[in-house]
A and B are shown apart, each in its own frame.
Chain A
Amino acid sequence: MQASPPSLTAHDLACRRGERLLFRRLSFRLEAGAACHVTGANGAGKTTLIRAVAGLCTPYAGLVERVGALALLDERPGLDPDLPLGRALAFWFGLDGAAASTAIMPRLRLDALAEVPVRYLSTGQKKRAALARVVGQAAPIWLLDEPLSGLDVASQGLVSELVHEHCQGGGIALIASHQPLDVPGMTSFAIEDFAPTEQDA
C-alpha cells in the first residue's frame, strides 16, 4: 500500500471544449474516504472535468494535484471486442496485478459471461465488465463517468454499494452522473454553478 493517504485537489480549474468555455474557477479537495457526485445536464462539461482530472486533457487554466493511482470508468470499456470477456479482463487484471479479481466477477454477475466475446455483450454488460476492471485495478482514486448509464436497477444499486465500500476502505471517488446515486456521506456539486457568466466575457 502507499505510504501517504490519497487525495485529489483541483485549483481554479477551467476547461474549454473547442472555443466554448465549459466551466471556470472550479476548486475542490477530496480526502481519503470522500465521495463526490458531479451533476449537470448533457454537454455541461462533466466528462471534460473527469478527463482533465485524469490528466487526459490539458485544462485551459488551473491545476490538478493528486496523490495515489487513478482508475477511470468512461463510456469506452477498453476491452478487446474480439476476445472472450474473461480473457479481455484478464489482460487488465494481469497488468494491475489484481489478485482479488475472481471475487468481483460473480458479484457483478459476469462469471457466466466469461466465454462470450465482448462484442456480443449488451451495453449494460459491458458497463459491468468495465466496473470489474476498475475494481480489479485497486487504485485509491476512482473517476467514474456516467457509471449508471445502461445499467438495470439492481446493478445501479450495486454501483452505489461498490463506491461506498471503496470509500469505507479509504478510497476517493469522483462520480459524474446526471442520475442520482445513493451513497452515504457523498457530497455533490452542480457543474453549472461554475459555468461562465456574462461578467466573465
Chain B
Amino acid sequence: MGVPRPRGAPSGGIWTPLALIVAALISLPVLVVTANLVTPTGEIWRHLAATVLPSYVENSLWIMVGVGVGVLAIGVSSAWLVAMCDFPGRRVFEWALLLPFAVPAYVIAYTYTGLLDVSGPVHLWLRGVLGASGPLSWYPDIRSLPGAIVLMSLVFYPYVYMLARTAFLEQSHAAIEVSRTLGCGPWRSFGVISLPLARPAIAGGLALALMEALNDFGTVQFFGVDTFTTGIYRTWLGLGQRPAAAQLAALLMLFIFALVILERWSRGARRYQNAGARFQALPRYHLRSGKAALACLVCAAPVALGFLIPAVALGIWAAGTAAETVNARFLTMATNSFLVATITAILAVVLAATLAYGLRIRQTATMTAAARVAGLGYAIPGSVIAVGVLIPFAFVDNTVDAWMRAQFGLSTGLFLSGTLVALVFAYLVRFLAISLNTVEAGFGRITPRMDDAARSLGQSRSGVLRRVLAPLMRGSLLTAGLLVFVDVMKELPATLLVRPFNFDTLATHAYEYASDELLVEASSASLAIVVVGIVPVILLSRAIARSRAGQSDGPVT
C-alpha cells in the first residue's frame, strides 16, 4: 500500500474552496430544516408522540427489515449469476434486471392494486373458478404493510444488483482462482472471496435502497400504511404544523443516520483498490440444464414481477384510455419531466465530481464533514427538502424584492422560489448523495499513484481530472448520471410542492389521478414514466457493459 495518503497533501488549489462552496450550498436546506428542530413545539408534538408516533416507528422498522432482506436476496443472487455464471439468456438479464429501476414504487403500487384488489381481474377470476358468490375471505389485501414491502423490494433491488454486479466483475480473478486451487468450490469461493470483496458495494446498494424505501411517500400513502413520510406530509400540509413535522423528519433522520453509519462502517478503514496493473476477462461457471433453468428463473422473476407484469398491465389499460388521456398537455408534461431530469443529472454529476475530487486531493476533517452533510439530502423526505429549499429562497426573493422596491420602485417578485431553479435545486439537494456515492466509489478504485504520475508529467489538478480520472471513471460517471436521472423522473413529493405554477410532470399527473382512484386513467402517465425511464436504463447499461474491463481493447473503467 506504500505510504498512507496524508491529511495535509499539497495545496488543493481551487478545488478545496470549490468543493466547500458546493457542500455549503447543497447542505443549506438540510441546515434550515434542522434549525427548525430547536423551535419549541409543545402541545402538538406531545400529542403526536402519544398517538401516532409508535405506529410510525413500527411500520418504518418493518419496512426497513422487510425491504432490506428482499433487495439483498434479489439483488445479490441475480448480480452474482449474471456476473460469474453463463446460462441461456444471461446477456439479456444483464440489462433486463435494471428495468424495474424505471418503475417508481407508487406506479407499481397503483398497478398491482388495480390488478389484485377485490374488484381487480385476479380476484374476480378466482371467484369465478371457485364459484364463490361474495368476496373470498382469505384473499390477501395488497394494500397492506406486507404488500408495500414486497412491491418496494421489487423496484428497489436494482440498487443492490447494479453495484454488486460491478463489484463482482471488477474483482481480481486471481483471488477467486487461488481460492479454487485451495479447494473452495464455487459456493465457498462466493462466500469466502466474492462476497467479502463485494461487501462495500453491496452495503452501498443496500443503504441506497433502504433510504429510498424510508423516503417512499406514494406507496405508503396509497396503501394507508402510516410511516414517517406520510406523517410528515400530513402534519406539514394537513395540520400546518411545520416545526412538529420537522421534528418527525429529525426522527426519521436517526434511522437514516444509522444506515449511513452502517454503510461507512462496512466499508471499514480499508480502501479497496484494483490491482492497477492487469485485468483479465473472467471465465464463468457454465451452468447446465437444471441449474441453468434455476438461474433463469432467479433472474426472470424480478424482471417479470418488477417490470413486465406491471408494464403489460399499464400498456393494456393505457391502450384503452389513451385516446382521451394522451394529448398536447400530456406531451408537455413528458418534456417537462425529461428536461428537469436531464439538467439535474448533469449538474449532479458535475457537482459530485467536484466534491469527490476536492476530497481526494485534500482529506481534511472539514472537507469530509462538508461532503457528508451535502450527501445528507438523500436521507430527508422530498417534502421536507422542498420546505428547506422554499424557506431560504422565499427569504432571498422577498429581501431582493423589498430592496428593489425601495431603491427603484420595481417589484422583482418570486424570481427563485416559483421557478425551475428551485425545483432543480431541490432535486440536487435530494439526489446529490446518489451521484456522490457512485463517483466516490469510482475514485476509490483508481490508485492515487495515477494522480501522482499525471502530476509529475506536468498536469495541473484540473488536467489530472480531465485527462486521467474522468476517462477512467466514465462508467462511474454514467452510472451516477443514470441513477439521478431515473430518480428525478420518479420523484413525487418534492415536485408536488416546489414545481412552478402550472408546471406538471408525469409523476404529479399520475399521483393526482391515482388519488382519485382513477387507476386505469392514471396508466398513460405511469406508463410514460416507465417508458422514459427505460431509455436511459438501456443506453447506460450498454455503455457500462462496453466500458467494462477486459471485455475489449477499449478503456478500462
Bind each other: no
